[in-house]
Amino acid sequence: MAKVGMGGIAGIWTEEHAVVKAAAKTRESGYTKFDAITPYPVHGMEEACGIKRSWIPYVTMVTGVVGLLAALLLTWWTSAVDWPINVGGKPAFSLPAFIPIMFELTVLFAALSSVAALFYATKIPRIDPPTIDPDLTSHKFAIFIPQNDTGYDEAKIERFFRELGASDVKKVAEY
Amino acid sequence: MLTRNKLVLGNKSVKDITEDICAPIEVYPSKGWLGLFTTALSILIFYVIILGAVIGKGMGLLGVNHPNAWGTMIVTFVFWIGIGHAGTLISAILFLFRQKWRTSVARTAEAMTVFAVMTAGLFPLLHTGRPWLDYWLFPYPNQRGPLWVNFRSPLLWDVFAVSTYATVSMVFWYVGMVPDFATIKDRAKNKIRRTVYGALSLGWRGTAKNWAHYEMVYLLLAGLSAPLVLSVHTIVSFDFAVSGLPGWHTTIFPPYFVAGAIFSGFAMVVTLMTLVRIGVPEFKNYITLDHMEVMNKIIMATGLMVGYAYGSEFFIAWYSGNPYERYVFFVSRAFGPYAWSYWTMITCNVLIPQVFWFKKARRSIPIMFVVSIFVNIGMWFERFVITVTSLHRDFLPANWGNYAWSFFDGAILFGSFGMFLTLFLLYLRFFPAISIAEVKPVLPVGQDHKGGH
């Protein structure tokens, strides 16, 4: 993601397949810091932009295991260590009875931390971030190249975007 | 060649979708909506008063007493929790199975889940009799020993299951709406709308890198919700099955409850969707007759599953040779004082959905509406049958007694619909009722002819 406040230049497309193609071409032309902005997840865009697989599943895995162990620790310590109470003659550490709690806490920890990881990865919540065009959340697509990208040259990029069928090219003061 | 019908009708462009789905939120509410909302709100206010009375005066206002220590509140709790299951099934399990038709109904079904779980969640909290002490349900260090909760009790498993389910389904629902809130924000003409939806959208911008993470999290949440939803009604069934009472103490309960939950939930989805289609005619292009038909098929399939479970309970009661269990099923349940509720359940849940064998019935809005209402009634009675007919005549005839149904029992059941409908109508008014960002990719346009992908 481009840094907050970074200026640059953005091309706007109205066709999904055109923007995917443009993203692939942009990548081939050597730009590395560009990003595509689409109103919905566009099939094939990740490959076109060369985006790596999200790392969030690792977070899910680890926090799920933490949730499982936390539940095991909680049930074991409260039921068998801190104040063991004889309930229906069951052993103090009655593991099968604790499985539902362990399952629920696994899911709870994994789900909430995956969403927290999403917030971290996508840098939300953000208050009123700058937008390039309000239609980019509706029916238009954009590719944004920040000023600090290698070989940044406004005139060249504008020509390049136009050649790829951009309906509009905008200079963005801040994105 | 077999071709699939289009998921979205009316040759919509991507822009049309945004406009169609945002339209109900961006216009002044219709008279129909205002009328329904006023009615629902009145029922909600009535409900609040009734609940105030039940909390202030006590649980004695309801018919619960020895031997029927569980009654309307537990029955209605299981009813509403079950309703919620269809939403998660559609949003999570059908997502994992790559069922693209789910996209246009998933949002509303999830909303239904969230509101049904909210409605349901109140009942066990109030049923404790002293709801102001409900925080005792959670294991926290306290000055009473510390005295910990009993982790071997299914009732406590339920606390964890329902609260986890409520949390995760709300988060799943909200995460799904974030990109759509950004769409509404960007379309906003006035400042307040822009600020409110901007805050709700959390500053979402939809860059390709963000979408990559987002889709991954959506998949993860679906993967986590799928076993979660199965666990919730399994654990609800443990509330009954772990006891030693004939009629409750059966191993078929977990799958039977889950099938029943999906059955009732889909019926509620069909009820609500028929109404949404009437309220917002434009949505007929998104929630098509094909959508309704597949849901009716699921209703019929799950209806047969619960029918099988009803039969299996009788078989096992006979086969086990246990005289108490035989009595509960063959005498008390089928021919006892509550036989009418049992046969209402059989009629509504097993017999009536059979009309869906006929394609005409599956595709007729009036027929499916009526059937879905019957299924809702039948599924409430199923929980009534399970709870009350098992309790009212147990091992000792000296212990027998009927449920003392009171005005307040009826009032909380009726009132709970006020709470659910108020929330649901507010949702239709303020939230995008169809997932904008999820419907667009299922369009055939853009998946183009000029050598796209």
| Interchain pair A111, B436: CB under 8 A | no
In this structure, what token pair is assigned to residue A23? Answer: 């993203």
Higher pLDDT, residue B90 or A99:
A99
Can you spell out the DSSP letters for B247-274?
A: TT--TTHHHHHHHHHHHHHHHHHHHHHH
* pLDDT tens-digit map of B304-345: 999 999 999 999 999 999 999 999 999 999 999 999 999 999
Q: What is the pLDDT of residue B450?
A: 43
B213 and chain A in contact, CB less than 8 A: yes
Confidence tier at B169 by pLDDT (50, 70, 90) = very high
How would residue B413 be classed by pLDDT, with cut points 50, 70 and 90? very high
- Give mean pLDDT, residues B55-80: 93
| pLDDT of res. B449 | 45
Over residues B420-428, mean pLDDT: 95
Which residue of A lies nearest to B161 if distances are taken between CA atoms?
A104
Q: How confident is residue B5, by pLDDT bands cut at 50, 70 and 90?
A: confident
**What's the average model confidence in pLDDT over A127-136?**
87
pLDDT at B125 over 50: yes
Band the pLDDT of B434: cuts 50, 70, 90: very high
Residue B446 has what pLDDT? 47
Average pLDDT for chain A = 90
Name every residue whose Cβ is closer than 8 Å to that of residue B285 and which is 6 or more positions away in sequence.
B8, B9, B10, B12, B20
| pLDDT, position A126 | 87
Q: Among residues 103-162 of chain A, which lie with CB inside 8 Å of chain B?
A: 103-105, 107-108, 110-112, 114-115, 117-119, 121-122, 124-129, 131, 134-139, 144
CA distance A156 to chain B (A): 23
Confidence of residue B452 (pLDDT cuts 50, 70, 90): very low
Q: Cβ–Cβ of A38/B212 closer than 8 Å?
A: no
In angstroms, the CA B349 to CA B342 distance is: 11
Q: Report which residue type is found at B300.
A: M
Cα separation of A10 and B150, whole Å?
A: 60
* Euclidean distance between CA atoms B295 and B81, whole angstroms: 19
- pLDDT band at A4, cuts 50/70/90? low
Which residues lie closer than 8 Å to B437 by C-beta, 6 or more apart? A39, A40, A41, B179, B180, B183, B206
* Chain A residues whose beta carbon lies within 8 Å of the beta carbon of residue B173: none
Q: Tell me the nearest-neighbour CA distance from A24 into chain B, angstroms.
A: 12
For residue B2, is pLDDT > 70?
no
Q: In this complex, do B448 and A15 lie within 8 Å of one another by their Cβ atoms?
A: yes
CB B250 within 8 A of CB B241: yes
pLDDT higher than threshold 80 for residue B432: yes
pLDDT classification of B400: cutoffs 50, 70, 90: very high
More confident residue, A131 or B158: B158
* Per-residue model confidence as pLDDT tens digits over B177-222: 999 999 999 999 889 999 999 999 999 988 999 999 999 999 999 9
Cβ(B158)–Cβ(A94) under 8 Å? no
pLDDT in tens, A69-94: 999 999 999 999 999 999 889 899 99
Measured CA to CA, the distance from residue B202 to residue B121 in angstroms comes to: 28
Residue entry with tokens 């191993």:
B251
B21-40 average pLDDT score: 91
Residue B453 has pLDDT above 50, yes or no: no
Share of chain A above pLDDT 90, in %: 61
Contact yes or no for B206 and A119 at CB 8 A: no
ipTM associated with this complex? 0.93
Tell me, yes or no, if A76 comes closer than 8 A to chain B by beta carbon.
Answer: no
Question: What is the least distance, in Å, from the CA of B248 to any CA of chain A?
Answer: 18
Band of residue B237 on the pLDDT scale cut at 50, 70, 90:
very high
pTM for the complete prediction? Answer: 0.93
